[in-house]
Amino acid sequence: MFWILVAVAALAVAIAIDRCQGSRPQKAVDHFVRWAEDVTDTLMKPYFYPELDKHVLFPQGYIAEKSGHTRGSTVDLTLFDMATEKELDMGGTFDFFGQQSHPDFGGNPATQQYVPTEGITAEQFANRMTLRQAMMRHGFKPLDEEWWHFTLRNEPFPDTYFTFPVKN
């Protein structure tokens, strides 16, 4: 049912879903948490959190010990333009931890009003709002810290965190 809703949301904006990350086992989340807790491991800092210290990733909401992804009700996604065969420019790197990733960076999501802001154009903000509105119309709620992150409003397993072995 979940993936049907995602497909319907994609069709509603006449573009395709791209780089979709859905379900992930709690074991994978636990590994990510261990990485985040190791403040000495900063190899990915220039790419994913250049303006933050790693110890703030939990309190600022970028990483959680329990994730909707493990419930099968959360998806990370961006949009793909079928005509140009390219991802839409959303004004920021997917999985980037920082203010630039917040849906309200460059405007007001409630009114979809763009506010000129260094680091995001009106078109990029509009692309974020297209994704956000499509997902919300089809039963998903957004996350305040990430423009690409949506959770099914009426989750079938809101208090369950599934885990299973992951093989190469």
pLDDT of residue 165: 77
Under DSSP, is residue 121 helix (H, G, I), strand (E, B) or coil?
A: coil
Under DSSP, is residue 32 helix (H, G, I), strand (E, B) or coil?
A: helix
pLDDT of residue 22: 66
- Return averaged pLDDT per consecutive 10 residues of the chain, 168 residues in all: 47 51 81 93 94 94 88 88 87 91 96 96 97 93 95 92 77
85 assigned to active site: no
* Cα separation, 103 vs 142, whole angstroms: 9
* Cα separation, 99 vs 97, whole angstroms: 7
* Cα separation, 22 vs 52, whole angstroms: 26
Catalytic residue chosen out of the listed positions 85, 123, 145, 146: 146
